Amino acid sequence: MNSVKRQVNKWVSRSLDRHVRLAVTGLSRAGKTAFITSLINQLLHSATNPRMPLFAPVREGRVLGARRVQQSQLHIPAFDYDLGIQSLRAHPPTWPSPTRDVSEIRLEIRYRPEKGAMKLLQDTATLYLDIVDYPGEWLLDLPLLSMSFDEWSRKQSGILTGKRKELAEDWLEAVDSFDPLADADEKLIGEMAAKFTAYLHACKEEGGLHWVQPGRFVLPGEYAGAPVLQFFPLIGNKYGESQLANAPKGSNYAMLKQRYDYYCQHIVKGFYQEHFSKVDRQIVLVDTLQPLNAGPASFNDMRMALEQLMQSFRYGKSGLLRRLFAPRIDKILFAATKADHVTPDQHPNLVSLLQQLIHEAWQTAAFEGIDMECVSLASIQATEPGMVNHQGETMSALRGTLENGEPMLMYPGDVPSRLPGESFWQDNQFEFRQFRPMQTDVDEPLPHIRVDKALQYLLGDKLR
């Protein structure tokens, strides 16, 4: 009898085990690695974590514990939690090195279901949480799927103004003497693609710009050095479109076009089919502070990149994505990261700025069946709020240690609650510094701001 009961219990448990695939994305340096490291760390401490009052299952004492188990997709690189936590616990602590490719990790969370159907059937249940990390830059490639090589070249030509044009000088000079109708020269195309890629990197690193296409060129992952990442848009060429349309099969033009088409079919589509289509919940991390610091060009560019990135969640009824796969994401959280860079009184502004940034794109698109929310958070809190006396007035401030070890008490400035206009950029007093993470003990969960709120939105209903 007992063994029958045990069997039934085992069967019930198995049928009630749940899986959630949570994807974490954001443009590079948005804070993905820090967020995932903190999220895992908070959950590994979840049985007794005092830092999670906003995550109901932990607050209610229903989470019995979490542990790492083998991930389900064995061919995807594992997210290196140990390395990340090792740098955060070092003396002095340092930030984990960012991941530059897709990676994955699986947690098994044991919990006591709330009163209700699950509770009647069993006392404890298991949630398997797959956390997938992928670069937000890859989402910038979606529009390529509906553009021919010529259309893409025209589009790229249209954005080559101002700072971008300056940064592209070296590559544009080479394009000038490039003959698309000449016999295909693989070596030359490789060299020119390297110049084009260097321009894309310069956009990000020197120009503080975010919108780069093709996204894989700056974060190639496993395709680094492959011919599929060696092409470039054909800009200002001396031939008309009809001449190019009749270009011989073995020409430079044909090779560029073939590589572009291959990129769309295999790399872009491949990502959506293999990774994106399997996601249940998504968090998009946005560093709104870096572009506020960098100026209007960087800010507007990030806005454009965000709008582009959001198109990937716009399934509609007959959209391109729906034709590619059956999407299943039902909740997206947009998070303004590094909230500990500004004083707590500025956190509401950070959220409303993020809401403004995505509002228009969200309103005008058909995001059917997806629930969306915005939050501000610090995955790993590196500063503490304090007070300073300035000319007889007490002001809120931040206290922390700069990366060079210097202690610092400062007021970084006000975050605009709306999209910044001319006047903000003119008397912009905003300044933030890179702080080093705070020293923590091995047994102590990492300090954070509102990671528990993010978890409540993303997983709260899965742990009922």
Binding residues vs ligand GDP (CB under 6 A): 26, 28-34, 95, 98-99, 337-338, 340-341, 378-380, 382, 434-435
Given the complex with ligand GDP, which of 106 and 341 has the nearer CB atom? 341
SS3 of residue 440 by DSSP: coil
Shortest Cβ 19–ligand GDP spacing (Å): 25
State CA 424 to chain mean position distance.
27
Shortest Cβ 88–ligand GDP spacing (Å): 11
Angle at CA of residue 359, ends 353 and 361, nearest 5°: 130
Given the complex with ligand GDP, which of 246 and 434 has the nearer CB atom? 434
Kindly report the backbone phi and psi dihedral angles of residue 275, in degrees, each rounded to the nearest multiple of 5, phi listed first: -105, -55
Single-letter code of the amino acid located at 289: L
Given the complex with ligand GDP, which of 189 and 286 has the nearer CB atom? 286
Single-letter code of the amino acid located at 141: D
Given the complex with ligand GDP, which of 331 and 436 has the nearer CB atom? 436
Closest by CA position to 201, among listed 233, 236, 234, 171: 171
CA distance linking residue 426 with residue 428, whole number of Å: 6
Shortest Cβ 99–ligand GDP spacing (Å): 6
Shortest Cβ 11–ligand GDP spacing (Å): 41
User: Is residue 185 within a helix (H) or strand (E), and if so which, with residue range?
Assistant: none
Given the complex with ligand GDP, which of 88 and 235 has the nearer CB atom? 88
Contact yes or no for 365/311 (Cβ under 8 A)? yes
| Tokens found for residue 220 | 């190639």
Given the complex with ligand GDP, which of 33 and 230 has the nearer CB atom? 33
Given the complex with ligand GDP, which of 303 and 450 has the nearer CB atom? 450
Given the complex with ligand GDP, which of 29 and 195 has the nearer CB atom? 29
Total residues belonging to the chain: 464
* Cross-strand partners of 395: 388
User: Is residue 82 within a helix (H) or strand (E), and if so which, with residue range?
Assistant: helix 81-89
Shortest Cβ 389–ligand GDP spacing (Å): 24
Angle between helices 32-44 and 81-89 (to 10 degrees): 90
Shortest Cβ 208–ligand GDP spacing (Å): 14
Given the complex with ligand GDP, which of 29 and 89 has the nearer CB atom? 29
Kindly report the backbone phi and psi dihedral angles of residue 390, in degrees, each rounded to the nearest multiple of 5, phi listed first: -125, 115
Shortest Cβ 419–ligand GDP spacing (Å): 23
Q: Can you list the alpha helix ranges (DSSP code H) found in 114-219?
A: 117-121, 149-158, 162-167, 169-176, 186-205, 215-218
CA distance linking residue 461 with residue 337, whole number of Å: 23
Cβ atoms within 10 Å, residue 323: 9
Strands in 371-376's sheet, in edge-to-edge order, are 63-69, 103-111, 125-133, 18-26, 281-286, 331-336, 371-376
Shortest Cβ 153–ligand GDP spacing (Å): 30
Shortest Cβ 57–ligand GDP spacing (Å): 23
Shortest Cβ 287–ligand GDP spacing (Å): 7
Shortest Cβ 53–ligand GDP spacing (Å): 18
Given the complex with ligand GDP, which of 113 and 135 has the nearer CB atom? 135
Kindly report the backbone phi and psi dihedral angles of residue 389, in degrees, each rounded to the nearest multiple of 5, phi listed first: -100, 115
* Cross-strand partners of 25: 284
Given the complex with ligand GDP, which of 113 and 207 has the nearer CB atom? 207
CA distance linking residue 385 with residue 340, whole number of Å: 8
